Amino acid sequence: MPEIPEVQALVDSLAERTEGATIVGAELAALSALKTFDPPLTALVGATVVGTRRIGKHIVLDCVDADGESLSLVIHLARLGWMSWRDGVAARAKPGRGPLALRVTFEREGAVGVMDVTEAGTKKSLTVHVVRDPYSIERIARLGRDPIQQPFTEAELDELLKAQRKRRLKTVLRDQKVLAGVGNAYSDEILHAAKLSPFTPSESLSAAQLTALHTALNGILGEGIERALGVPWNELKDGKRFAMRVHARAGEKCDVCGDVIRQVSYVDEHFEYCATCQTGGQILADRRMSKLLK
């Protein structure tokens, strides 16, 4: 799933391509993706893009329609969604065939460009909203603190964690109602950099552990944003994957201590950690096991 660095890179690239452009086509290929009906998707046609932004993991294209009213296209790529861009006119989208969910065509100063929003797999979670106000979308209205917008202090992080009481750090870091935009992959990397167990209760951090977590949170996300800057869309996912030190690297050696990277699996997801770096050598149990391994 794209997280803050990848979504921000897509938004920045979209800004260069679409701001000031007129939307001349909006075609829905996956009917289940569109979650709103008023305004309709067709209201985008003729609207001018006046800005792009990221809200958590959501991509927002802010527009002004033909009547001068504000209108926003909001896209959440979910777990397997992605975007592509091509210059020039594309064929009409064919509903129900292939991974294509949405096709939007832009025109600026006589040049035409097409944005395709796609989703792989059979479990469809990608969402598209057309709204007057993005914060009218319940998922957005409930988002927590975006850790890279405005100074995110150590004291603020401490307050957020203590409010979660005994919830595990891994769960808290990827909870969008607590920290908007951090997901499974970067939370693994942040905890590894901070040398903290994913199972540590969020309210029990020492002062040194809190500082380490705050430093890792800023550092990992900052490095991710810098790495993704200017990277072509079709290379962003591979760039993220190659940069991971523990996430999705179960069975490989930790490049910090040389121990094997281990995995905790749930029904349809997993996370990775290094026992030597993060848990004092203790191997964590998952739901496939009845107790902590010795």
Which alpha helices (H) appear in the chain, and where do they start and end? Answer: 4-18, 138-141, 154-163, 169-173, 184-194, 207-228, 233-243, 275-278
b/e code 97-134 from CB counts within 10 Å (16+ = b): eebbbbbbbbeeeeebbbbbbbbeeeebebbbbbbeeb
pTM: 0.93
Which two structure tokens, joined as six digits, stand for 87? 């210059």
pLDDT computed for residue 282 by the predictor: 94
Which two structure tokens, joined as six digits, stand for 236? 């962003």
pLDDT computed for residue 165 by the predictor: 86
Domains and CATH numbers, the chain: 4-141 (3.20.190.10), 154-278 (1.10.8.50)
| 246-265 tens-digit pLDDT | 999 999 999 999 999 999 98
Q: Which stretches of the chain drop beneath a pLDDT of 50?
A: 290-294
pLDDT computed for residue 68 by the predictor: 94
Short-list 173, 143, 183, 139, CA closest to 6 = 183
b/e code 24-46 from CB counts within 10 Å (16+ = b): ebbbbbbeebbeeeebebebbbe
Short-list 44, 63, 65, CA closest to 53 = 63
Q: Residue written as tokens 């905790």?
A: 264
pLDDT computed for residue 280 by the predictor: 96
pLDDT computed for residue 59 by the predictor: 98
pLDDT computed for residue 147 by the predictor: 96
Q: What is residue 166's three-state secondary structure?
A: coil
pLDDT computed for residue 288 by the predictor: 58
DSSP state at residue 253 = B
pLDDT computed for residue 269 by the predictor: 80
**Which segments within the chain are labelled E, that is strand?**
22-28, 48-55, 58-64, 70-76, 81-87, 100-108, 111-119, 127-131, 261-265, 270-274
pLDDT computed for residue 248 by the predictor: 94
pLDDT computed for residue 285 by the predictor: 81
pLDDT computed for residue 287 by the predictor: 63
